Amino acid sequence: MVSWAAMAPDNPLRRLLIMGGGGFVGGNLSTLALRAGWEVQIADSTAREGVPGATWHALDLTEERALRALALDLRPHAVVDLAAVADIDRAERERDRAWAVNVEAARTMARACAELSAACIYASSDAVFAGTAARYAEDDATAPVNWYGHTKVEGEKAVLAACSSAAVIRLSLVLGFPVTGAGNSFLAGLEAKLKQGQAVPATPEEIRTPIDVLTLASCVLELLDTRFTGVLHLGATDSIDRYTLTRRAAELIAGRADLVVRQEAGPVPAGRAARHRNGILDVGKARQLLETPLPSVETALHRAIEERI
């Protein structure tokens, strides 16, 4: 385990440990948490540039002893677990690795949070659902159609069982750009293809409830301050299919909606995991609970593109 940068003045009541903080969502959350006055500690496989002021800890998050030792040494007030094998196809190929990161590492950190009486947030996904219903609320039955979704179901159970102060946030699609140059960002990938003039296939068959990364980070920080526990859906107040979303994003980024090609439904290609069709999250509970306003899809898209950090 290696640490970078000098520790900030000891302030355990405002110390935030972010697992997977070097990724797309983690880098943005780390940046906004620093601005909000948190002392930010990042645990990830590699230390990266892009989050000045944070302290990095490079370690394999699947090493239980190292992860537990880090938590007990830092004694954070709060932990946000964003670490995941989130590529659905990779998770299908590398099932053991996906289970180790998405379930076991999450369980280890949740147990440490319970010992420390720390707030704990675990990031989950709409992939826990079958995707056949018109809308999904927090208490609807889970029925994942791929291994990634299965690991998220089990990760949720592990975290909530291990830590009574834990919260689970389910996300459908996060819009924005990475600040560390790493992570799985839909908009960053789209922008790169548009710059090269590449055709971008997108299907109208998959419907999502996206949220921009800045609104998401604000919601997470609010949930930490209020010590929310339980399960909560975070997303836009409406939903959109991937084809329409991709065309709209391509227009806003580069004025090139013409490069987005409609991809009709067909057999799942070899090597590609099944996808849930309807990732339509009911965010009514979050709208009642949070002071942070949840945006429409159009507002989320504009904010993700125009207000990037």
Is the pLDDT at 127 greater than 90, yes or no?
A: yes
246 assigned to some structural domain: no
260 assigned to some structural domain: no
Query: For the residues 163-191, what does the mean pLDDT come to?
Result: 96
Percent of the chain with pLDDT over 90: 90
Mean pLDDT, rounded, of the chain: 94
pLDDT digits (tens, 9 = 90+) for 214-260: 999 999 999 999 999 999 999 999 999 999 999 999 999 999 999 99
280 assigned to some structural domain: yes
Is the pLDDT at 307 greater than 60, yes or no?
A: yes
pLDDT digits (tens, 9 = 90+) for 2-43: 333 333 344 444 999 999 999 999 999 999 999 999 999 999
Question: Which distant-in-sequence residues (6+ apart) come within 8 Å of 208 by Cβ?
Answer: 126, 172, 173, 239, 240, 241, 242, 245, 279, 280
* CATH number of the domain encompassing residue 46: 3.40.50.720
Domains: count for the chain:
1
Determine the structural domain holding residue 17 and report its residue range.
2-179+205-240+275-306
193 assigned to some structural domain: no
- Choose between 271 and 180: higher pLDDT: 180
Is the pLDDT at 146 greater than 50, yes or no?
A: yes
Partners of 17 in beta bridges:
41, 79
Is the pLDDT at 48 greater than 80, yes or no?
A: yes
pLDDT category of residue 268 using cuts at 50, 70 and 90: low
pLDDT digits (tens, 9 = 90+) for 89-111: 999 999 999 999 999 999 999 99
Query: For the residues 113-139, what does the mean pLDDT come to?
Result: 98
197 assigned to some structural domain: no
pLDDT category of residue 182 using cuts at 50, 70 and 90: confident
pLDDT category of residue 265 using cuts at 50, 70 and 90: confident
270 assigned to some structural domain: no
139 assigned to some structural domain: yes
101 assigned to some structural domain: yes
